[in-house]
Amino acid sequence: MSEATVQVDWSAVKTADMVASVRKSLLSRQTQPQNALPAARRGAGPAVARRGMARAAGQPIIYATALAGLIIAGIAGVWTANTAFLPEMYDDRAMTPVVDAFSGGGNYAVFDLNLNIRKLRDQHLARMTTTPDTMILGASHWQEAHSGLMKRTRMYNAHVHRDYWEDMLGMAEMLVRNKRLPKQMIISIRDNLFAPVGSRKDFLWEPGIPYYRAMAGSLGIEKESLWKTLPYQRFKERFSISLLLANVARWYNAVERPHPTRQAGNQTLDTLLPDGSILWSVEHKRFFTPERAEREALDFAKRRRDDPPKIDPRGVEAFDRLLTFLQSNGVDVVLANPPFNPIFYERVRDSAYIAGLARIEKLTRDLADAHGLRVIGGFDPAKVGCDAGMFIDAEHSNPACLAKILAEFEALAPPLRLKTIGEPGS
């Protein structure tokens, strides 16, 4: 402000003299030549302004860049940490010690059965030295179906969690590329097997997409669009901070962590077996009470009554082509419908859901008739002979119920040309 200050001679003692003095000073200021300003300051104003503006503009850019870097580093850190604390789900390398244990005749204990089971199946099939006589393709309804339930043949339980029709093609692709097509195959058709991609609310099937696309190409089937099958939900979960906190808490509070084992069961961890089945931990078995199973069944029925299974015609066509492919490669196929908990089944009677189940059952029979196949099991538990005590929730049965379905399969042994254990070459 010093450049604009008016110099006044305050020695004047009268008001008129004071005014005159101010006027004189103003006139003198207006007539002062520009070059009377200090030489160092001439022309400095614009330069100073430009430098000041540059500094003012540069600081937000620096701050924004630093903030963006921190955000990117944080996101990458969450991604990496979720992979580190849940490797069986997100790190393909974590399947190697599991398969190593299987190859050595052992088992593998895990925190959670919701792992990347599709990648596990692929790696396990690649390491097998012989091909099992019979394989089960289906969802987690079959997870407790161990090889001891088959009295006459060697069986491998190739179930995957939350299967869809793409998984049937994807599993077949794994068998072909690993040269492990079996003599017989039980293919399970669950209620939501043919659900359109847009109606699905889970993402466990996404790791199987590359296998599905490869088999679809081999069969000349139009593939689902890449946009629809991008594993974006799987990527989204890996960025979840809440998931990370849960994984970290579980890791550091665990009595035991995932490891190979020779035990047939574990106190706190569920166990993966080399025949493809699972064993629940002791803690889980205590948790699976009849009262809990009933609550789960009733709640599931409430949510499903007015939500019938949906059928994607493209999925049906692809499945039909797959059956033709398997039969042309000498595989005897049997179709199966897995039963529900009787409590659930009774509660959804006369509902839109039960009508949808009837359509799925008819579709199963139609596919069987078209290919000359047999159908075992059934959604109605009374048809199979399974009671409520054989279920841990609305749809997952225990070995006692699964044994009844597999007994139906083995009763078809003569027409399926099954080779019994102990025969030459078995």
Position 313, amino acid: P
Top-confidence residue, 298 or 206:
298
Inform me whether the pLDDT recorded for 178 exceeds 70.
yes
The pLDDT assigned to 36 comes to 45
The mean-pLDDT minimum among 48-57, 273-282, 291-300 falls in 48-57
The pLDDT assigned to 1 comes to 46
DSSP string, 114-155: -S-HHHHHHHHHHH-SS--SEEEE--GGGTT--GGG-SSS-E
Query: pLDDT, tens digit, for every residue of 366-384?
Result: 999 999 999 999 999 999 9
Query: pLDDT, tens digit, for every residue of 228-257?
Result: 777 777 778 888 899 889 989 999 999 999
CA distance 279 to 284: 10
The pLDDT assigned to 359 comes to 98
Closest CA to 216 of 171, 282, 183: 171
Q: Are 381 and 387 in contact (CB under 8 A)?
A: yes
Which single residue is written with the structure tokens 């808490």?
A: 249
* Mean model confidence pLDDT for the chain: 86
The mean-pLDDT minimum among 57-61, 157-161, 313-317, 371-375 falls in 57-61
Inform me whether the pLDDT recorded for 131 exceeds 90.
yes
At residue 40 the predicted structure's pLDDT band, cuts being 50, 70 and 90, is very low
Give the distance between the most distant pair of CA atoms in the chain. Answer: 135
Average pLDDT for 63-90:
83
Average pLDDT for 146-172:
95
CA geometry: angle 326, 142, 266, nearest 5 deg: 135
Distances (CA, A) of 368 to 95, 219, 221, 295, 362: 35, 20, 21, 35, 10
Q: Are 269 and 110 in contact (CB under 8 A)?
A: yes
Task: Report how far Cα 342 is from the mean position of its chain's Cα atoms.
Answer: 29
